[in-house]
Each structure stands twice: as structure tokens, then as C-alpha cells.
Amino acid sequence: MAISDNQKLDYLFKKVGFGATKTDTVLNKLAANESLPSPLLIRGDTIWAESGQIPSVKPSTSNSYVTLQTAIEATEDITATGNRTWKTGVTDWIPTEFGSTYLVNVYVHTSGDAAGAESMSNKVFTTGSGNNDEWFFDYQSGVLNFIGDNLPNGVNFSGKSVYITGATYSGNFGVASASISADISTLQSQVASILTNTDPAALDSLTEIVNAFQTADGTFATSTELANVNTAIRSDLAFSVKEINDPVSNVEVANVTGINFNVDGGFALTDNSDGTVTVTIESTFKTWHIYDTVSDTTPTDIIAAAVDEISIRAGNNITITPVTTTGSKGITIASDISDLLDLGISDGTVGQILQTDGNGNFSFTNNSIVSSSIPTSQTFTGDGSTVDYTLTDTPADEESIDVYVNDVLQRPSIYSLSGTTLTFNETPANADDIYVKYRYPTATNVNLVDNSVENRHLDLIYTSSQYVGDNTTTQYTIQSGHTVHSVLVIVNGLILPPTDYTIGFGTTLTITTAPATSAVIDIRYLPV
């Protein structure tokens, strides 16, 4: 028949409480009636001899008596129920008997990731979570047991381990025997006698021993002799220094007793205050990036090696001046284009331009650019089958023209441009009136003849923004820098007059009346 829990408790009560062995049941013999002593065994070799040095508050760093243990990954005890018991493999953990701060912290986290274990989200508390899932930590053995009926509520142990953080005792163990204590006391007395005894009859004090040694050794070194020894030692420690990979001649120096680093050579020394020196090279222009032009983004690299030298020469109409000021050296590069300006021709009058005849001859002439007339608009008539229409000019893009079909402005997505060919995505019906308006902005130059500059030569960019009405929204974001006169607001193909909208705060266009739900809003920007 198994031993009852009451009998087990009776044994522990008599053993721990009275230091006696259990000889009968609690009904037949009370603890006070047990007469055979059985005190708990206290091993001398496991006693914490310096436990008195453990502070009442856990220190922030380890010392001779306390070792901090950070996120020790425990191993599951496979002899127990799954995930019930975990072994740290570390003993002599300092319990809360020495102070509440020594209470260990327990975490459940991914196996093999001790660095990420100590997070509040991973912590499980000794009191559990209210579901009889407390844990108990045996500080002597370093074993954690989930002592309640349940494992921690809501914790998934798959692929995870238990991590323990706390402190262990690291002082001396054991109690010295009486004979060892006596030996230590005798030794202490003998040392004290040597340090204090002044009996001239015996060399039994430290002072007497030193004096006797100095008297007996008449060859004690003088300061001069020590200097000579120092010189000899320095000679013995001398070493050789040599160059390698010098394309001309490698230098080699023997019996070197010191190395100097020249600051002018780019070297700098830092005393690390630990007997070491850090040598750094502050400035070496090893790689030179050479760009052919101002706009060039891919350089040709000149990479210096060994004793390479960089030569800089002035080319035509370029002057290079060395800057030799102490502490600031460099070069100044200047250009002289006076020869380029001397064309051997007389100056023209105000407003004239310089032109060439293609044979190297230059002259000044009036600013009069001959060009064919720039078209302003074209009209076509649909026939129910044609989608391609030929323009008399080449617009830059779809945004550079306005296309009307039966007086309704079309969005650029309705058509496309390829050179002078206008192509509709949908075939215009028979008799449809097609009107194309070229959007050429106006520029002012008193010396330019009419129709002398075409849009494609100005490289102007036309853009637009599209929105859909919701019968509520009146404000729409546009590009900055525009006024009511530099935008076209088109709602369902109809252009709104500038009086129907305003532009404020730089990028906000406000339409007086909110466009209806699903209304197509096309805001087209004129170049500014």
C-alpha cells in the first residue's frame, strides 16, 4: 500500500521541525515523543564560507562573491511530464533569503535565442496567471518546476525553451578543520615576527635580511652601470626595417631602435594609454576620378600605387597655378578664352546675332529667323471609318494640342500622336466635325519675326490632372505656380470660365459649384 501524504508530512515535520527520526505513525507517537535524533546533514564542503559577503541587494555587475546569470537556457527534463520541469545545469543560485532582488526571472522564448529572451512579453510570473499555473525554482539544484496543476496559461512551448535570469554564489566553499586553523594562526604569527623582530643575533626580520644582502653583495650596480646595461639591452633589442615592392630600390636599415612617423607624410599617432599606439594615415589621394565634361557621370579613374606620381599639365587656354601656402596646398585652374573671342571681325550693333556661313567665316547680322508659318488650328470631317488624320505640324505630345469633336473637348487618352499623325482610339462618326487647336504659348522678343519659333523648339511640357466628382468636393490639388489663367478646367468635356474657380495657397484649386457625382474633371496645365 502506498505511503499516504499525511505520513510523508509527519516524517518531514519530525525531521525538520524536531531533528528526530520517525518511528511510528502520528496517531501513536507525536513529534515531541520521538527520541532518536536525526538532524539534517550539513556538508562542510558545500558550505558557503563567504556568504556574509553577499549584499542584500543584487549588484549590477558580477564580483568575487556574486555572479550574475543572464538568460540561462534550461533543458527540459524528459523524465517528467512534457514541459513540466526544466534544468539549468547551474547550482548554488542565491535565494531570496539574502534579499528580494535575488528572485529569479523566468522567460519562455524561442530556443537558441538567449539574446532576445529577456522581454516582458516572454516573462512568466511565479504566481502564474490565475489558473493554478505557478512555478517553483529550486535554488540549490537550479531546477524549475511548474508546480501547479497546469502549465502557464496561453504559452505555446513548441520550438521554445525556458530561460532563467538571476545570480549564483561564487565565493569560497567549505569549513577549515581545527588543525588547518591552527596552522594559519601559527603562520600569521611567524610573519608578524619577521616584520617586527629587531634581535641582532638572528636574521629574522625583513629589514635585517635586506641590510645583510646589501653588505654581502659588493657589486651592487651604480646608476652609470645601469645606464650601460640599458644601452646593451637596447642594442640586443634592435631590429631591421626594410621596404618591399619599391620599383627602383628597396631600402633596408639594420639595428633600428626606433621608428619615426612623419606628419608631412600623412601619418598620425594616437597614444592608447595602455602601452600601445595607433598609427593612422590621415590623407592619401590614392584614387583620382577624372570626368571628361561637366555633365559626365562616369569617371575614368587614375589609381596611384607605390611611388606613383600624379602630373597635372595645363592645356590650351588653361592656366594652372600651384598654391604652396603652408598648411594649405593645392592648385588654381583658370581659363583664358580671349583667343576664342578674337574672330577678326568687327562688332555688330545692338540686337544683332553672330552667324557662320559654314566655311569658318563669322559675321554679325540682324536677328531675323526665317520659318514657315506656324499653324494655329486644323479641321477635319469624320467619315465613319478613318481614325488617322495628318497634321501640318509635329506637336511635342498629346498635351500640346486640344482636340474637339462636335465642339466637345476630348481628353488626351482618347487619341494618340506619332509625328504628324493624329490617331483616335474610337472611330469618329460620319460627318463628325473634328477641330484641332495647337497650344503654342506666347513669348516676347522684339527682334523675332512672326511665326519664327515653333513649339517643338521650345521643348515645353504640357501636363494634366484628372479627378472624378462626388457632388460634394470643391477643392482639388494642382501643380504649384499656376493662376486661374494658366490652367484649363474641363468638366465632362466643357471648359469652365476662370470666374467659376479660384486658386489659393499655391496648390489648391476651388470650383465654385461641386461637380456632380461621377463627373469627369480634367485639369490641364499651360506652361509657366
Q: What is the DSSP string of 25-71?
A: -TTT--GGG--SB-PPP--GGGSBTTGGGS-SS--SS--SSEEEEEE
515 found inside a domain: yes
What is the C-alpha R_g of the chain?
A: 50
pLDDT of residue 372: 45
**pLDDT of the residue at 446:** 45
State the pLDDT at residue 30.
86
User: Which of the listed residues 419, 440, 457 is the one where a domain comes to its end?
Assistant: 457
Widest CA span in the chain: 144
Residue 268 lies in a domain: yes
**Pair (209, 260) in one structural domain:** no
For residues 359 and 71, what is the distance between their CA atoms, to the nearest angstrom? 87
Q: Are 285 and 272 in contact (CB under 8 A)?
A: no
Do 67 and 144 lie in a common domain?
yes
Q: How far apart are CA 284 and CA 262, in angstroms?
A: 14
Residue 367 belongs to some domain of the structure = no
Same domain, 51 and 36: no
Burial class (CB in 10 A: 0-12, 13-18, 19+), 152: buried
Q: Which three cell numbers stand for residue 138?
A: 529550486
Task: Give the model's pLDDT for residue 440.
Answer: 64
State which residues form the domain around 498: 463-525
Is 334 strand, coil or helix?
strand
Q: Is residue 70 part of a domain?
A: yes
226 CA to centre of own chain? 56
Residue 435 lies in a domain: yes
Q: Is residue 225 part of a domain?
A: no
- 21 and 33 inside one domain: yes
* 74 shares its domain with 140: yes
Handedness of CA 436, 442, 448, 453 (dihedral sign): negative
| Domain co-membership, 148 together with 51 | yes
Residue 162, judged by CB atoms within 10 A of its CB (0-12, 13-18, 19+), counts as: buried
Q: What is the pLDDT of residue 288?
A: 81
Same domain? For 264 and 285 the reply is yes
Domains: count for the chain: 7
Q: Give the three-state DSSP class for 341.
A: helix
Please say whether the dihedral angle defined by the alpha carbons of residues 60, 64, 65 and 69, taken in this order, is positive or negative: positive
Specify whether 405 is located in the same domain as 475.
Answer: no
Give residue 175's pLDDT. 75
The verdict on 191 and 252 lying in the same domain is: no
User: pLDDT of the chain along its 528 residues, tens only?
Assistant: 678 888 888 888 888 888 888 888 888 888 888 888 888 888 888 899 999 999 999 999 999 999 999 999 999 999 999 999 999 999 999 999 999 999 999 999 999 999 999 999 999 998 888 788 899 999 999 999 998 889 998 899 999 999 999 999 999 998 755 556 666 677 777 777 666 666 666 656 666 666 666 666 666 556 676 677 667 776 666 778 888 888 788 888 888 878 888 877 678 889 999 889 898 877 667 788 888 787 888 888 888 776 677 788 887 778 888 888 877 778 888 876 665 556 666 777 776 777 787 777 777 777 654 444 556 789 999 999 999 999 988 888 888 899 999 989 998 889 999 999 999 999 999 999 999 998 765 444 445 556 666 665 566 778 899 999 999 999 999 998 889 888 999 999 999 999 999 998 778 999 999 999 999 999 999 887
Does residue 77 share a domain with residue 16?
no
The pair phi, psi for residue 8, each rounded to 5°, is -65, -45
Identify whether 197 is part of a domain. yes
492 and 446 housed in the same domain: no
pTM recorded for the entire structure: 0.36
- 177 assigned to some structural domain: no
What integer pLDDT is reported at residue 444 of this predicted model?
41
> Is the distance from CB of 39 to CB of 53 less than 8 angstroms?
no
Residues 306, 244 share a domain: yes
Given this model, what pLDDT does residue 299 score? Answer: 87
Sheet strands (E) in 101-212: 105-110, 123-124, 136-138, 143-145, 160-169
Would you call 378 exposed, middle or buried from its count of C-beta atoms within 10 A (0-12, 13-18, 19+)? middle
Predicted local distance difference test score (pLDDT) of residue 369? 46
